[in-house]
A = this chain, B = another copy of it.
């Protein structure tokens, strides 16, 4: 039960984690296409070809970042909705959890949202394709998370009956659309966003 997937290649002098961190910064701030793969290497302090010891390609690294972020999102949702009997309270808790993130995680969300389309088509190489499939499954898992929350609320009479699939996708779309424009340095604090969206979701679903 609950097979814990352990990250590979965690040798003692492995720079995998450092590369991922640097890549998130670069991809998140400069954009994936715009950042040179060699720049990531520089920031870590290694030659560009050393990157290929850890990742098969620039895209493979991106897909890994996306998969990890999806995993995180799913875990956080599960944790947030675990101990909430009332569907409305569960919904509120889930939304708040979605915006309870660090600056670094904001970047990861941005990267994830900006490259969702990568998950549709198949990839050339093995390891890339593996990450893609894993990420794709996590996307469906997260979608089911939200849909199930709605289904539960509807069957319990807390939410009016509607197409839970479609409504779930919409709620999720509304929540993640924020990551396209939100900047930690911007004028709007995330707490304010969180409150408005929380209210909006409840009205959308529970009215």
Contacts and interface: CB of A to CB of B under 8 A. Distances in A.
Contacts of A176: 177
Q: For this complex, into which size category does the number of interface residues on chain A fall?
A: 20 to 34
17 contacts: A31-B121, A33-B33, A34-B121, A163-B196, A167-B196, A169-B181, A170-B178, A170-B196, A170-B197, A173-B177, A174-B174, A174-B177, A176-B177, A177-B177, A200-B204, A203-B203, A204-B204
A30 to B, nearest CB: 8
A7 interface: no
Interface in A92-127: 114, 116-117, 121
Interface of A: 31, 33-34, 114, 116-117, 121, 162-163, 166-167, 169-170, 173-174, 176-178, 180-181, 188, 192-193, 196-197, 200, 203-204, 207
Top 7 A-B pairs, shortest CB-CB distance: A173-B177, A174-B174, A203-B207, A200-B204, A203-B203, A177-B177, A166-B196
Given A31-B117, A170-B177, A162 B203 contact: no
Contacts of A116: 180
